[in-house]
Amino acid sequence: MSARRATRHVSVKDVAARSGVSFQTTSKVLNGGGSVSEVTRARILQAASDLGYVPNLQARSLVMQRTQTVGVITSDFSDHNLGRFIVGAEQEARRQGYSVVMTSIEPEGSGTEYALPAMMERRVDGILLAAPQMEQDEALAHVLDRSLPVVSLHDVPGGGVSTVGSDDELIGLLATHHLVERGHRAIATVIGERGRGITESRLRGYRRALEDAGLRFDAELVEEGGWQIAAAASATMRLFERRGDISAVFAQSDTMAVGVLSALRQLHKQVPADCAVVGCDDIDMAPHTVPPLTTIHVPFYETGAEAMRLLLTMITTGSVSPSKVVLPVHLIVRASSG
């Protein structure tokens, strides 16, 4: 019944035996190196292909002391933006001949206890961090001690880690400034989870845009929407209960903007006539909401690719000095802002 292990994997020794040379010579040929006569080389190559030889990366890693593998630690990437990011990262890794072992940590953040050890045991050559909820995680210091190259999508407590991303304050600024320019005075904002770097940065941008325009920042106009559609909708409700005069809303993500639109509909407010809405991220759905959503485009795919590129550079050059790459964003005006 369970007598598997059907086809024994063929090793260099098998290939060597079939071509009548030592396995070390076989290894030389298969790696393109060494001085081996053309005829022998051909014979070996032939034998390898006859036998269907597939090199064993485990063994190679053992002696080479690197695995050609990077770890990606992420939170739930069924989130569209994170998904784009990871796809970008993975494809870049592949392009450079690296594999990616991925682990998505649970919302509760039990991730550290599992994810990090798992990567260390697998001796990944570097780690890409895309898990906002680990922002505060002290266990990362441990990784840094081991001087493993790490690139992150967000800031890391101890510092010393390279980051790649867009300027979140600028995002908040652009979005809010656009509304100010359209003549809005009472501009509310639905923000993400309080305390997160991204939330606070985008909020700072919002605030700066107001102050640049001589408007007063008013905490009453800020409401937490927790990145979820439904939560953003009820945040919007709370805002309008408090202040009937709101004429524009900046949502800190397009997903939340959908919730905002949903709430406004329930309140029988016309968008943008009664209330304008601006989101950010530019998800696929953005052009197809009702009305189409004005937003800030954030290049997630490119960010992922760039982050991986940076990580691989760190790995191959052995450079460990942290850097910071900022990718450009831009405003996309659609109907929701009039």
Under the binding rule (CB under 7 A), the answer on residue 321 touching DNA is no
Under the binding rule (CB under 8 A), the answer on residue 156 touching its own copies is no
Stretch that binds its own copies, among 14-22, 58-66, 175-183, 218-226 (CB under 8 A): 58-66
Q: How many residues does the chain have?
A: 338
User: Closest distance between DNA and the C-beta of residue 200, in Å?
Assistant: 42
**Which H helix or E strand runs over 166?**
strand 162-166
Under the binding rule (CB under 7 A), the answer on residue 24 touching DNA is yes
d(Cα 302, Cα 77) in Å, to the nearest integer?
A: 16
Under the binding rule (CB under 8 A), the answer on residue 273 touching its own copies is no
The binder of its own copies chosen from 22, 24, 46, 99 (CB under 8 A): 99
Residue 5 is encoded by which pair of tokens? 């292990």
User: Closest distance between DNA and the C-beta of residue 10, in Å?
Assistant: 7
What does each C-alpha distance from 227 to 123, 161, 199, 205, 259 come to in angstroms?
A: 34, 26, 10, 18, 10
d(Cα 273, Cα 60) in Å, to the nearest integer?
A: 65
d(Cα 177, Cα 181) in Å, to the nearest integer?
A: 6
Under the binding rule (CB under 7 A), the answer on residue 30 touching DNA is yes
The binder of its own copies chosen from 22, 24, 34, 54 (CB under 8 A): 54
Q: Cβ closer to its own copies: 290 or 333? A: 290
Under the binding rule (CB under 8 A), the answer on residue 31 touching its own copies is no
Stretch that binds its own copies, among 160-168, 197-205, 316-324, 328-336 (CB under 8 A): 316-324
Under the binding rule (CB under 7 A), the answer on residue 64 touching DNA is yes
Question: Could you give phi then psi for residue 90, rounded to 5 degrees?
Answer: -65, -45
User: Closest distance between its own copies and the C-beta of residue 338, in Å?
Assistant: 18
Residue of 303, 254, 296 lying closest to 87 (CA atoms): 303
Q: Is 91 exposed, middle or buried, given 0-12, 13-18 or 19+ CB atoms closer than 10 A? A: middle
Give the list of residues 6+ apart from residue 309 with CB closer than 8 angstroms, or none: 92
Under the binding rule (CB under 8 A), the answer on residue 330 touching its own copies is no
Residues that bind its own copies (CB under 8 A): 1-7, 9, 54-59, 61-62, 65, 67, 69, 76-80, 83-84, 86-87, 90-91, 94, 99-104, 106, 114, 117-118, 120-123, 145-147, 229, 233, 255, 258-259, 261-262, 265, 284-285, 287-288, 290, 301, 317-320
